[in-house]
Amino acid sequence: MKFQVYKNDGYARYGILSFYNQNIETPLFMSVGTYGAIRSLSIDDLLLTKTQMILSNALHLFLRPGIDIIKLHGDLHNFMNWHGPILTDSGGFQIFSLSKFCSIIEKGVYFKNPINGKVLFFTPELSIDTQCYLNSDIVMVFDECINSFSSFREVKKSTEMSLRWALRSKYRFEFKKNKNALFGIIQGGIYKSLRTFSINELLQLNFDGYAIGGLSVGEPKEIMYNLLKYICCNLPLDKPRYLMGVGKPEDIIEAVRCGVDMFDCVIPTRHARNGSLFTTFGVINIRNKKYKTDISVLDKTCKCYTCMNYTRSYLHHLFRCRETLSYKLNSIHNLYYYQSLMCDIRNSIQNNTFDDFCYDFYKNIKINKHFK
């Protein structure tokens, strides 16, 4: 993987991630396919959304179907028939999301398998081995994601252990002689001193890129944005910056303003399955009764397959009937909206009009707060 920044507008950056013969423009949004699939969508459907890159989860794929099954196909790309780049989450976030079912020690984490209830011991080395077998284009170090309301002492202890795990992850990655990219993950909660400590230690290991973890887990927006600006100002200019798990459109815009290059989140597809659809003028809850007789298109500015072929009335009908087609059409639209948003962001950075783009975005969705 190679990365180059070609244009700046303030702290916002337009760049190119190069994987072999594929060039991916940044800032980018990765569609989330935890189990090697974007729920309800085929790869052909996904291509309609103009998705450049996807994210899958190493721990979940390790549990099901298992690495042996995926190796029968060669790698994860062949298994799911996706030939674009893939980033795999290491499984560290599951320490946070499955905290009631795991126990952490220095060597690794004991998980209660959510599928069969058996105990699984997952380590940084096993996480790296799994991601190497998957042939992930970007491999993530194994870390601990901690609650943002944890005490300084708790976050310090967690951050120090995550750094030791990062070193073990890098050693294992180099031992495997993997030619793909390895990203470190910056932790430290809401404490700037711990974020600085994490950054300085990770920079000494010279990762291919740097992810920002442990944000958007309950802290106020102002704190998140201030931390993002502080973190990005202390990262190398020539390495990609990835904000993990943050995905509301306004959060993406403010993170780009701080200098972030990469994003992922389940919001567009999860919201789609719940009937919440993103448009140029705000979120539409298609389940609402008022759309039953609304024969207009979902978003007149959108060129996605859904908006080009179906009315709000039809989408309301599908959702009310719980037709699986509802999940598909809604997901196509939301992912297309996100990819169009990223494309507009990239174009505005290249044209030095990013601030104007932000102003128009907030004006259209009628949000008055504009964090800077």
3-state helix/strand/coil string of 184-214? EEECCCCCHHHHHHHHHHHHHHCCCEEEECC
Q: Is the pLDDT of residue 370 over 50?
A: no
Q: Is the pLDDT of residue 68 over 50?
A: yes
Considering the domain architecture, whether residues 54 and 188 belong to the same structural domain is answered as: yes
Considering the domain architecture, whether residues 251 and 277 belong to the same structural domain is answered as: no
Among 9, 251, 264, 299, which one carries the catalytic annotation? 264
Considering the domain architecture, whether residues 179 and 278 belong to the same structural domain is answered as: no
Instruction: Quote the pLDDT of residue 372.
Output: 37
Considering the domain architecture, whether residues 252 and 348 belong to the same structural domain is answered as: no
Considering the domain architecture, whether residues 332 and 218 belong to the same structural domain is answered as: no
Helices marked H in the chain:
43-48, 58-63, 67-72, 76-80, 93-97, 124-134, 152-175, 192-205, 221-232, 249-258, 267-273, 305-309, 312-320, 324-350, 354-365
**Is 44 an annotated catalytic residue?**
no
Domain final position from 236, 265, 294: 265
Considering the domain architecture, whether residues 100 and 194 belong to the same structural domain is answered as: yes
Among 89, 143, 261, 299, which one carries the catalytic annotation? 89
Give the C-alpha separation, 152 to 180, whole Å.
35
Domain final position from 265, 289, 310: 265
Is 198 inside any structural domain? Answer: yes
**Is 355 an annotated catalytic residue?**
no
303 Rama sector, left if φ>0, alpha if ψ -120 to 50, beta otherwise: alpha
Is 255 inside any structural domain? Answer: yes
Considering the domain architecture, whether residues 72 and 201 belong to the same structural domain is answered as: yes
Contact call for residues 263 and 255 (beta carbons, < 8 A)? yes
* Averaged pLDDT score across all residues of the chain: 94
Domain assignment of residue 321, given as a range:
272-365
Is 370 inside any structural domain? Answer: no
Is 153 inside any structural domain? Answer: yes
Give which of 335, 339, 203 is closest to 277, Cα–Cα.
335
What does the pLDDT look like over 13-54, one tens digit per residue?
A: 999 999 988 999 999 999 999 999 999 999 999 999 999 999
Radius of gyration of the chain (CA): 20
Considering the domain architecture, whether residues 36 and 168 belong to the same structural domain is answered as: yes
Total of domains in the chain: 2
With H, G, I as helix, E, B as strand and everything else as coil, classify residue 119: strand
Considering the domain architecture, whether residues 296 and 220 belong to the same structural domain is answered as: no
Give the C-alpha separation, 227 to 192, whole Å.
7
Instruction: Quote the pLDDT of residue 99.
Output: 67
What does the pLDDT look like over 208-237, one tens digit per residue?
A: 999 999 998 878 999 999 999 999 999 999
Is 127 inside any structural domain? Answer: yes
Domain final position from 222, 243, 265: 265
Instruction: Quote the pLDDT of residue 97.
Output: 63
Q: Is the pLDDT of residue 139 over 80?
A: yes
Is 371 inside any structural domain? Answer: no
Give which of 10, 12, 6 is closest to 241, Cα–Cα.
12
What does the pLDDT look like over 231-281, one tens digit per residue?
A: 999 999 999 999 999 989 999 999 999 999 999 999 999 999 999 999 999
Give the C-alpha separation, 215 to 172, whole Å.
27
Is 372 inside any structural domain? Answer: no
Give which of 197, 193, 227, 223 is closest to 212, Cα–Cα.
227
Give the C-alpha separation, 25 to 263, whole Å.
12
- Give the CATH number for residue 116: 3.20.20.105
Instruction: Quote the pLDDT of residue 182.
Output: 98
Contact call for residues 333 and 302 (beta carbons, < 8 A)? yes
Considering the domain architecture, whether residues 181 and 79 belong to the same structural domain is answered as: yes
Give the C-alpha separation, 335 to 211, whole Å.
22
What does the pLDDT look like over 94-128, one tens digit per residue?
A: 776 666 778 899 999 998 887 788 898 999 999 99
Tell the burial category of 293 from Cβ atoms under 10 Å away from its Cβ (0-12, 13-18, 19+). Answer: exposed
Q: Which residues contact 203 (CB under 8 A, 6 or more apart)?
A: 236
